[in-house]
Amino acid sequence: MRVIVCVTQILDPEIPPGEFRLNAERTAAAEGIGQLVMSIFDENAVEVALQLRERMIEREPVEVIALTVGPPSAADVLRRALSLRADRAILISSEGGPVLDGVVVASLLKAAVERLHPVDLVLCGRETGDWHGGQVGSFLAEALGWTCVTFVSRIEATDGGFLMRRQSDEGWEIVWAARPAVATITNEETNVPRLPKVRDTMLAARAPIPMWTIPELVSDVTGLWGANGRLQVRELVIPGTSKACEWIEGETVTEKAVHLVRALRERRIL
């Protein structure tokens, strides 16, 4: 069985708010303001894949492949996946390509999945930890023509398919999906990411990571460029804040209370 886990590199969401900066020209977060990390829901997806491999060890060999689309720096999140004991990792270089919106990323991942045929299961985080779009997994399943199950926390393999534990508004559901399938993974106490061992981290740091280019994967590159602009960020700003302090005067407590109520009514707070 071959399982592909799609991972994403994002700015660490735990960055102190006071250190966050924007690049107005790029309508994006400024570079160099914080650490780049793997999106937390993608870490959950890696954990689900590893748990599935461990449960299948006596039934069927499982290969876990980490896959990402991004600049060369995105190799760091692939090494993170390798340190967690993914079998191998592949970087799809986005350099010189179109803006990476959900449609473009899904198109590139589709081409990579087809190149890695046969694939039984593709896992994506339910959303990224920065923009929280939650689109790529569904777009990828549609492009592949595969079943898509969302908000999954655990997967069991069965003959010809998978049993998936899925979060819903009413609680948890058990859904069966035929192979091949796509699942988007949510966080739950059963798939908390494990900590990598020091030896595995050192091996991952030296592991070769193949890099595939867009022209290698997509014959009609102009089609991807045509996808540019489907999602446009027109403006990105950090909301400004202001503070003011006003003393409520009065000789007595009752007088101060009257003045306070009057001031609140003037500002339409009461």
152 Cβ contact partners less than 8 Å away, ≥ 6 residues apart: 48, 164, 165, 166, 167, 175, 183, 184, 185, 186
- The chain-wide mean pLDDT, for the chain, equals 90
Q: Is the pLDDT of residue 113 over 90?
A: yes
Task: Give me the helix-helix angle, 136-144 and 102-115, nearest 10°.
Answer: 50
∠ CA 74-76-81, nearest 5°, is: 105
Q: Is the pLDDT of residue 10 over 80?
A: yes
Q: Residue ranges per domain, the chain?
A: 2-226, 240-270
**What average pLDDT does the segment 48-59 reach?**
95
Q: Are strands 36-38 and 63-70 parallel, antiparallel or unpaired?
A: unpaired
The CATH code of the domain at 2-226 is 3.40.50.620
pLDDT tens-digit map of 200-255: 999 999 999 999 999 999 887 766 655 555 677 778 887 777 788 888 888 899 99
∠ CA 236-95-8, nearest 5°, is: 65
**What average pLDDT does the segment 7-35 reach?**
81
Place of tokens 């998936």: 164
Q: Is the pLDDT of residue 149 over 70?
A: yes
Nearest to 39 by CA among 63, 13, 58: 13
pLDDT tens-digit map of 67-77: 999 999 999 99
Structure tokens at 13: 């969401």
